Structure 1
Amino acid sequence: MPALPATTAAGTTPVDLVTTGPTTILAAGIDSIPLSDSLAWIAIGVFVVAMVLEWRGAVDPARYLAAGAWVVFGLFWLTMVPHYYLEVKSPIQTLLTLAALPLCAYAGYLLVQGRESLLLLSRAVAFMGLFYLPAETIPVVKTWLIETTAAQTHFGMELLGHSPGIEEGLNGYQSRFAFDSDETVTGRTTYIIMSCTGIGSMAIFGGLIAAVDAPLRRKVVPFALSVGVIWFLNLVRNVFIGLASPWGWFQQDALVYVVTEFMGAPADRTSYIVAHNFIAQSLSIVALLGITYLVVRLLPEVLEPLEDVLYILTGTEYDLTDALGTEARADGGTTAASEPSSGPETER
């Protein structure tokens, strides 16, 4: 995205948004594009209605309604392509948003063709939206999330010897790190927006955990674990980007050349783009895969919607329970998958 000037006591300092990683489903800055905002609300609303119909036993109407919701959900992501390509300049997020529409349309097609198991994945998306959209649209909640994240990020910077202070950002929240442009390498700074809070990634796991059929007592631990890990890693990420941008950690000539020649960005924005668009987003994928593994070890029922995700992506049926050697026990716990005995058991 282009540099945004903001006046400080030290003069004019260009600022960047510490935006989210590629795995945040609904935290895509929907407040920036009204059409996207509307499509997100419509999609989640239809998903919720389909979920209610399924619970009431009207499976066929639920399938058709959920199929339509998937198409609208795909259109939502399509409207975000210009934002990620022209403003954020993120190759990863641009490719993901481009792929979203055909994948969502295929999910809708499978539902129409009778793949009822996709109703569980549809239910998960409904819960994700119910987790995220209120936080996005209730002012007091949104303000608290943004400003608390900014304060925690600033505390992390202080632990590393940097104390720029916090002031009002262009979004109207106390979320901008007030580095002096005359003292830093690039003269740039960043400020926190809603998608920097990690709420989108939390909503992903919250939606998956809420959607599956399992006792509530077994859902509490994986939910708390996933939220806690996401919160910590997101804080580390914000501190990393918030310091890399002003202090020019990645202003090496080769990187500057790539950013200016191939991405059309100003040279002084190189450190931000490298830290945010390449390093942080790539590591976000690795981190979420790791969190997913921890969650499925505690709540293997989550594997069922993930198997449908893999089917949509590859067209091949997978048995992740067998692959991971985990299965649900009758008492609601988990156990390693049994292996055939090679002979009579010997007492020791």
Structure 2
Amino acid sequence: MLSSIGVAVTSSSSAVTAAVLEPTASVLVASLASVEPIDPLAWLAIAGFFAAIVLQWRGDLTPARYLAAGAWVVFGVFWLTMVPYYYLDAQSPLQTILALAALPLCVYTGYLLYGGRSSLLLLSKAVAIMGLIYLPAETIPIFRQWLIETTAAQAHYGMELLGYSPGINEGVNGYQSRFDFDPDETVTGRTTYIVLACTGIGSMAIFGGLIASVAAPLKRKLSALALAVGVIWFLNLARNVFIALASPYGWFQQEWLVSAMTTYMGAQPDRVSFLVAHNYISQTLSVVALVAITYLVVKILPEVLAPLEEVLYVLTGTEYDLFEALGESEARPDRQTNQ
């Protein structure tokens, strides 16, 4: 799944919460002591994927497939539980559709694994590593705070380069993450604050999982990871600056657009610019960006085409040879025999 992408938006008198998948020894101990639980379904699914990886490594392929199949079903149920939030709170059509589609796709993936498609264990491994990268940021407050406040500071610096300097104060999440625009000097009287989904960690986790899951020389894997993380960071910074300015200054407060969104989508009139900038423009461009970054990563590390072929098979039911199509046949790893 694509990662959730979000910025929270607040008014001058109230807050509308939006949320959204090497320290020293002393800091590590403090971090572990502050771990907060999230949806146990997510933990259960990731744990199941990792257990399946261990079984596969030991040569127990059939039990590995069965366990991974169950983990995929749990993973799908987890995404289904996110639908009410994406639809009612985040008001994001794209994320709502993706969350709804996740359950049947995950169940089908589990069905294929149970039926003998052991090559899907590679995709299961990639998802497990994605979760291992993302979940600590979601569940360990000291990491989450650092990511959010660092992202907010960088976005503020980006706005300063464009001639805006609102300052930063405490957001509803308790972090120094809210851009302190004067409501009397803006069109909507609203401002935004950074949440975890605004940090880009979700997209970074996707590529981190894909890259780490395949067998390839370490130098090429590190190069691909550096490229992916660097591009995601830059584009994420530009996105945060765009949304942070579009919301208070009402870049999309055109009368016809406000009328349509308030009438047919139940949006608050002064929140329209935020919703258009965040839920429509930014999220759509994020999908395009992920495809472009994937292409760049493939040029460095074509081995990631293997789990992507499995994604295409789940989506279409058709076998695709991406290695051949992109002229990377020599990089194709030996396929596991389906049992």
TM-score (norm 1): 0.86
2:30 is matched with: none
C-alpha distance in 2 between matches for 1:179 and 1:324: 48
Which residue is 1:168 aligned to?
A: 170
Question: CA offsets per residue over residues 262-321 of structure 1, 9 Å max, x none?
Answer: 110111101000000100000000000000001111111100110110111111111111
Is residue 80 from structure 1 mapped to residue 82 from structure 2 by the alignment? yes
Q: Which residue in 1 is equivalent to 2:263? A: 261
Contact 2:323/2:331 (<8 A) preserved: no
Q: Is the 8 A contact 1:301 1:328 kept in 2?
A: no
Preserved contact between residue 44 and residue 74 of structure 2 (Cα < 8 Å)? yes
Contact preservation (8 Å) 2:204, 2:229: yes
Identical pairs, percent: 69
Distance 2:280 2:38 in 1: 25
| Aligned-residue offset at 1:326 | 2.1
Moved over 6 A (4+): none
What corresponds to 2:66 in structure 1?
64
Rounded Cα–Cα distance in structure 1 between residues aligned with 2:236 and 2:287: 12
Assess, with a 3 A threshold, how the Cα gap between structure 1 residues 196 and 5 changes in structure 2: closer, same or farther: closer
> What residue is the counterpart of 1:92 in the other structure?
94
227, 241, 244: which one aligns with 1:242 = 244
Residues 151, 4 of structure 1: alpha-carbon distance in 2 compared, 3 angstrom cutoff = closer
Q: How many Å separate the matches in 2 of 1:196 and 1:233?
A: 11
Cα offset, 1:328, TM superposition: 3.4
**Is 1:278 the counterpart of 2:280 in the alignment?**
yes
Q: Report the structure, 1 or 2, having the larger helix content.
A: 2
Q: Decide which moves more: 149-158 or 134-143.
A: 134-143
Q: Is 1:12 aligned to 2:13, yes or no?
A: yes
Q: Equivalent of 2:122, from 120, 123, 134?
A: 120
Q: CA deviation at 1:231?
A: 0.6
**Structure 2 residue ranges without an equivalent (≥5):** 1-5, 22-35, 334-339
CA positional deviation for 1:322: 1.4
Alignment match, 1:293: 295
8 A contact 2:177–2:193 mirrored in 1: yes
Give matches, 1:74-223, under 5 Å.
74-223=76-225
How much does 1:201 deviate?
0.4
1:141 CA drift (Å): 1.2
Does structure 2 conserve the Cα–Cα contact (< 8 Å) formed by 1:300 and 1:327?
no
Q: 1:178 to 1:245 in 2, by over 3 A?
A: same
In the alignment, the residues of structure 2 paired with residue 43 and residue 66 of structure 1 have an alpha-carbon distance, to the nearest angstrom, of 9
**Paired letter, 2:162:** L
Distance 1:64 1:251 in 2: 52
CA distance in 2, matches of 1:92, 1:12: 29
Q: Secondary structure at the match of 2:169?
A: strand
**For 1:62-100, what per-residue CA distance to the aligned partner results, in whole angstroms no more than 9, with x for missing partners?**
100000000010011000000000011111111110000
Counterpart of 1:228 in structure 2 is 230
Q: Residue 270 of structure 1: SS of its match in structure 2?
A: helix
User: What SS is found at the alignment partner of 1:328?
Assistant: helix
Provide the TM-score with structure 2 as the length reference: 0.88
Aligned residue in 1 for 2:316:
314
**Would the aligned equivalents of 2:17 and 2:172 in 1 still touch at CA under 8 Å?**
no
Residues 195 and 41 (structure 1 numbering): CA distance in 2 closer, same or farther, change over 3 Å? same
Q: Which ranges in structure 1 are unaligned for 5 or more consecutive residues?
A: 21-25, 27-33, 333-348
1:37 to partner: Cα distance: 1.5
- RMSD (Å) for aligned C-alpha atoms: 2.0
